Amino acid sequence: MLVVKADGTKELFDERKIIRTCLRSGANKETAIGIAKEIKRNVKEGTTTREIYKMIVSLLMKAEKVPAFLFRLREAMAELDPVSFEVYTKKLLESCGYKCRWNVLVKGKCVEHQVDVIAKRENLFLVECKHHTNQHRLCGLGSVLQVQARLEDVMDGYAKKKNGYDFTHAWIITNTKFSNHAKKYAKAKNILLTGWGTKPRIVEIAQANKLYPVTLLMANRSVIGKLLHAGIISLHDLLKHEKKASKITGKETKNIMKQATSLIL
């Protein structure tokens, strides 16, 4: 039996992929096997992988609500485009009491740097956002080395009075995990790391403040893309700018608003 992938190509249905997906979400093996068998009974020739994904989420929610939600949230962060992820990161930090500026040009001693987010709360942080569409890709040593070099040049620029930002730390925030080498180097250089598996975990910050991206919604992906393009990044943005959002969401408005409200309240 052939299923249709997102790019339009076809591949053989493989229930082992469903089992692996369920296990990655945090479900136990028995649940994962049961879900794979249930989906196998309902999949038909030409079913899309997106439809299969919706089946997985629906069955996970019935079986194990917390792992299923975390699975959806991780997918939702991966679905953000890089710019939206930067804005979402800014919102996450602001929800924790930081005063933030997004997308700031800062002169270093050698060159000018585009800083993703500047965050202040007692100390001043140079925040670098590393977004990956592949949620299983590690944020590696190269990213940490790059940020350290940027911090040093900007700090030298401050010493030479080329900028007015007295940064004390660099902070890297990603939607995936960090490699062991990245974590080891960051610890030695006192660089803060926030990712999926590194404390403070990005998922814990999101859950603590119920600050979720609009990509978490089960809705037409084209509509979600238009919301992001309009600057509606989080579910709080969606409810705050309901009139503006409704012009984009159209006939899906009622369902989308209901989902957003249930996830936040």
Lowest mean pLDDT among 88-92, 141-145, 200-204, 209-213: 200-204
Instruction: Assign 25 a pLDDT band (cuts: 50, 70, 90).
Output: low
Q: What pLDDT was estimated at residue 68?
A: 66
Give the C-alpha separation, 67 to 64, whole Å: 6
Comparison of pLDDT for 27 and 16, the residue scoring more = 16
As a whole number, the mean pLDDT across the chain is 92
- Locate 202 and state its tokens: 């990005």
Q: Provide the Cα torsion 66, 67, 70, 76; round to 10°.
A: -120
Residue 170 pLDDT > 90: yes
- 73 near 26, Cβ under 8 Å? no
- Alpha-carbon distances of 49 from 11, 14, 32, 91, 98, rounded to whole Å: 10, 11, 17, 32, 40
In degrees, rounded to 5, the angle at the alpha carbon of residue 144 between the alpha carbons of residues 232 and 166 is 75
Lowest mean pLDDT among 34-48, 55-69, 81-95, 117-131: 55-69
Q: What pLDDT was estimated at residue 250?
A: 95
Lowest mean pLDDT among 1-5, 162-166, 237-241: 1-5
The CA-to-CA distance between both ends of the chain, in Å, stands at 42
Q: What pLDDT was estimated at residue 263?
A: 86
Q: What pLDDT was estimated at residue 157?
A: 98
Comparison of pLDDT for 61 and 37, the residue scoring more = 37
Q: 212-264 maps to which CATH number?
A: 1.10.150
Assess whether the previous peptide bond of 213 is cis (omega < 30° from 0): no
Residue range 199-223: mean pLDDT, rounded: 92
Give the C-alpha separation, 137 to 176, whole Å: 7
- Locate 149 and state its tokens: 């070099």
Residue 61 pLDDT > 90: no
Residue range 5-13: mean pLDDT, rounded: 84
Q: What pLDDT was estimated at residue 26?
A: 67
- 104 near 127, Cβ under 8 Å? no
- As assigned by CATH, the class of the 82-208 domain is alpha beta
Residue 164 pLDDT > 60: yes
Residue 64 pLDDT > 70: no
Q: What pLDDT was estimated at residue 112?
A: 98
- Locate 236 and state its tokens: 């709080």
Q: What pLDDT was estimated at residue 54?
A: 81
In degrees and rounded to multiples of 5, residue 101 shows phi and psi of -125, 140
Question: Residues of the chain with pLDDT > 70: what percent?
Answer: 97
Residue 66 pLDDT > 60: no
At position 18, the amino acid (one-letter code) is: I
Domain spans of the chain, in order of start: 2-63, 82-208, 212-264
Comparison of pLDDT for 71 and 186, the residue scoring more = 186
In degrees and rounded to multiples of 5, residue 64 shows phi and psi of -145, 95
The owner of tokens 């959002």 is: 245
Give the C-alpha separation, 164 to 162, whole Å: 7
